[in-house]
């Protein structure tokens, strides 16, 4: 059997499901027995190691795994020498400072001399250093949000996505320290066959991610409006134009970034576009 690339993914928790899903979208089928620490792909030279999120950066730095899917915040917190190859668009969150909701807050100076509870002491320390602040950092490994209520700390530094945990605990976000999402990271010394496998994986991944952000658009328009419509559609350099059975009308096909679509929809209609269809793209080969 030939050499395989080893990828670490989270064993259980927030990133696991989406990590396996994105590999699947890359056409990689994994033999997923329960309670396994290791699994192999059937149809791609990849071995999957299921590890704890917080241990992953160390394993990749040591080369136990060649690459991994892990939260960017964990990479920053662990301060390991890793290459961030690709942001993956899921598990988005931010590391933020929060205070009891009725505390009067008027800027970073407030934190000087305060006690801050966090599970991310290194990230917090970097932020404090950048802003010339001194705090008393209390490291706790979970349920950081209750620390102010039980008198353990004046404020917290924790990951936030919707903000509902903060709200439930009577806290309010006052500063954002960093933004994070799941990303593909790699050991700095991959080479040879493993690098070639990684290149193939990256090619697939980029096709999958591009497809997620883009949609296929079809619309009908009177022939005399076709040029105006091409002007309106961002990135529509060379759309496909086909005649409709109805005299004087054409069908336009192109690809559009989903974020751009809502911005131009009114102009499309003003220019006489009808029967607009937006269709998901399965893969987009770049």
Sites of contact with ligand ATP (CB under 6 A): 10, 13-15, 52-54, 71, 73-74, 91, 93, 159-161, 180
Q: State the nearest-atom distance from the C-beta of 143 to Mg ion, in Å.
A: 12
Question: Measured from the CB atom, is 49 or 264 closer to ligand ATP?
Answer: 49
Number of residues interacting with Mg ion: please give it, by CB under 5 A. 1
Is 128 or 159 the residue whose CB approaches ligand ATP more closely?
159
Strand, helix or coil at 153?
Answer: coil
User: For ligand ATP, which is the closer residue by CB, 92 or 138?
Assistant: 92
| Closest CA relative to residue 211, chosen from 118, 286, 147, 266 | 286
In the complex with ligand ATP, the residue whose CB is nearer, 134 or 161, is 161
Chain centroid offset of residue 213 CA: 12
58/195 with CB nearer ligand ATP: 58
Minimum distance from residue 165 beta carbon to ligand ATP (Å)? 7
* Sign of torsion over alpha carbons 82, 87, 91, 96: positive
Stretch that binds Mg ion, among 13-21, 158-166, 201-209, 227-235 (CB under 5 A): 13-21
By CB under 5 A, which span of 12-20, 171-179, 245-253, 262-270 interacts with Mg ion? 12-20
- Provide, rounded to whole angstroms, the least separation between the CB of residue 48 and ligand ATP: 15
Q: Give CA torsion, residues 209, 212, 218, 223, to 10 deg.
A: -50
Tokens at 82, concatenated: 């890793």
Residue 79 binds which entry of Mg ion, ligand ATP, none, with Cβ cut-offs from 5 to 8 Å by kind?
A: none
User: Taking Cα atoms as reference points, which of 126, 92, 131 lies closest to residue 111?
Assistant: 131
Q: Which of 200, 207, 210, 209 is nearest to 67 (CA)?
A: 200
Q: Classify residue 265 by burial, with Cβ atoms within 10 Å: 0-12, 13-18, 19+.
A: middle
Q: What are the residues binding Mg ion (CB under 5 A)?
A: 13
């Amino acid at each position: 059997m030939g050499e395989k690339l080893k990828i670490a993914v989270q064993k259980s928790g927030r990133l696991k499901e989406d990590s396996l899903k994105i590999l699947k979208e890359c056409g990689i089928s994994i033999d997923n027995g329960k309670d396994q620490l290791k699994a192999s792909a059937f149809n791609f030279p990849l071995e999957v190691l299921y590890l704890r999120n917080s241990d992953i950066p160390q394993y990749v730095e040591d080369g136990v795994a060649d690459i991994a899917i892990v939260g960017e915040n964990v990479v920053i917190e662990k301060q390991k020498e890793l290459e961030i190859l690709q942001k993956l668009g899921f598990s988005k969150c931010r590391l933020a400072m929060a205070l009891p909701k009725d505390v009067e807050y008027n800027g970073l100076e407030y934190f000087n001399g305060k006690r801050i509870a966090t599970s991310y002491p290194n990230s917090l320390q970097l932020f404090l250093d950048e802003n010339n602040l001194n705090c008393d950092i209390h490291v706790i490994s979970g349920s950081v949000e209750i620390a102010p209520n039980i008198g353990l700390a004046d404020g917290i530094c924790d990951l936030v996505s919707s903000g509902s945990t903060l709200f439930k605990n009577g806290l309010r976000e006052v500063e954002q320290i960093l933004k994070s999402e799941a990303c593909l990271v790699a050991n700095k010394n991959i080479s040879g066959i493993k690098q070639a496998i990684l290149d193939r994986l990256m090619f697939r991944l980029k096709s999958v991610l591009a497809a997620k952000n883009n949609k296929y658009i079809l619309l009908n328009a009177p022939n005399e409006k076709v040029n105006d419509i091409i002007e309106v559609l961002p990135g529509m350099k060379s759309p496909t134009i086909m005649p409709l059975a109805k005299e004087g009308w054409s069908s336009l096909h192109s690809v559009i970034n989903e974020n751009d679509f809502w911005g131009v929809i009114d102009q499309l209609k003003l220019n006489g576009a009808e029967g607009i269809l937006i269709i998901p793209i399965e893969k987009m080969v770049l």
